Structure 1
């Protein structure tokens, strides 16, 4: 009887409790991360469906879109219309690409009929056509009726990998509404808290090229979920083998 009790104590003492606890904790973390990615997958799918439905909806006046924004509604990519005249001689240039070519998106301030100002992304110009003098026929004259997609300004630089804007050289790498407003000399104006990406123009050969909004939200959450669940499965198998060998020995 004493020998059996001693053997049981020795076996219990040699059981890899630390390994079991560490494995369970790691499995809980990996499975939780997988579950989180599954929830993100559902969220992203709903978001993409909402955006797709929104961009194909009928346009609304910009004033109505801003009222929705004030009420807490998301107006990103909402089709809008607005009338007004572009402020002469003012363009802000945001680095961009279009069909594999590097260039600039031309942002121009439009004074609306109500006297407010909204920056309109008029479209893409090649890198060497940044200077408006190189494309004199691209300057709009007189009253304009703009149709496009509402885009919200960024609160801050999206990533430390993105270069800092250089307003003094009229070179922007992210859409900084405050910096554009100051550089355009519109500090005393009422600048609306939204951008408008203009839609395609009747003459596609004329600069700038309109309708350059790219709606490409990555949806890799399924891959991430499979990765986390796969790591959990591998950890379970390896830890199980280690525990089995320890007990066997």
Structure 2
């Protein structure tokens, strides 16, 4: 191969080479970003676990001072009287036997406090056959009681979750504002309390179902991006080698 031919072949690699470099930079950047997100997620999980085990539990924050980033998953204790006639059942799943989940509802009950304010309490899970409050009357706490649990904000509906229908009393997310409006509640906290496991006599609802298990797949994602980057380098290397070393086919007259 003449030097002129080789120079021409080298020049023909400039455009695909630049494109490959841009793609490589993007892929490597995504991988590094996922590693940074992994560190952030691990720090967040550590903070949540630390908050969830604070003893003694703190008082719930004032409604106007609620800061989800600072307060969510904080362990608190509140006193009041449950308004069982205004409870809401939210469709959900709970851990059952190994390898399967129980289908049923989470029982959200307003806790009316002495100052006239209310806090929604997720008292726990009931299976479908215990949907009727009469079937679990033993679990209805009468009179003033203390509730211990963790603060949570409203649940965000994802694209795979049906939209709640207050008119039909069908709930699929723990939407605090919508539930309060549907039950005619005023002065309701912008957060709810996820009750501990030992809150209810009679065993139902079964509290303590909150799991601090935020997904942390960022290392897997980082390996994926770095793997694609390595494949890009390999593919371009083979492409460039063949472009530079394939024999020149003679012109056919």
Q: TM-score, normalised by structure 1?
A: 0.88
Take 1:69 and 1:202, find their aligned partners in 2: how far apart are those partners? 24
Structure-2 residue corresponding to 1:60:
58
Unaligned 5+ segments in structure 1 are: none
1:193 corresponds, among 190, 196, 199, to 190
Structure 2 counterpart SS, 1:77: coil
Unaligned 5+ segments in structure 2 are: 247-253
Take 2:245 and 2:188, find their aligned partners in 1: how far apart are those partners? 75
Q: Is the 8 A contact 2:140 2:200 kept in 1?
A: no
Take 1:27 and 1:204, find their aligned partners in 2: how far apart are those partners? 60
Take 2:115 and 2:202, find their aligned partners in 1: how far apart are those partners? 32
Take 1:112 and 1:50, find their aligned partners in 2: how far apart are those partners? 29
Q: 1:5 to 1:234 in 2, by over 3 A?
A: closer
Q: 1:135 to 1:169 in 2, by over 3 A?
A: farther
Take 1:56 and 1:80, find their aligned partners in 2: how far apart are those partners? 10
User: Aligned-pair distance for 1:68?
Assistant: 5.8
Equivalences for residues 140-219 of structure 1 within 5 A: 140-154=141-155, 156-157=156-157, 159-186=158-185, 189-201=186-198, 206-219=203-216
Take 1:134 and 1:11, find their aligned partners in 2: how far apart are those partners? 81
Structure-2 residue corresponding to 1:125:
126
Q: Is the 8 A contact 2:6 2:244 kept in 1?
A: no
Number of equivalent positions: 239
Give RMSD over aligned pairs: 2.1
Q: TM-score, normalised by structure 2?
A: 0.87
Equivalences for residues 70-81 of structure 1 within 5 A: 74-81=70-77
User: Aligned-pair distance for 1:61?
Assistant: 0.8
User: Aligned-pair distance for 1:57?
Assistant: 1.1
Deviates more, 1:165-174 or 1:234-243: 165-174
Q: Is the 8 A contact 1:81 1:145 kept in 2?
A: yes
Take 1:7 and 1:238, find their aligned partners in 2: how far apart are those partners? 23
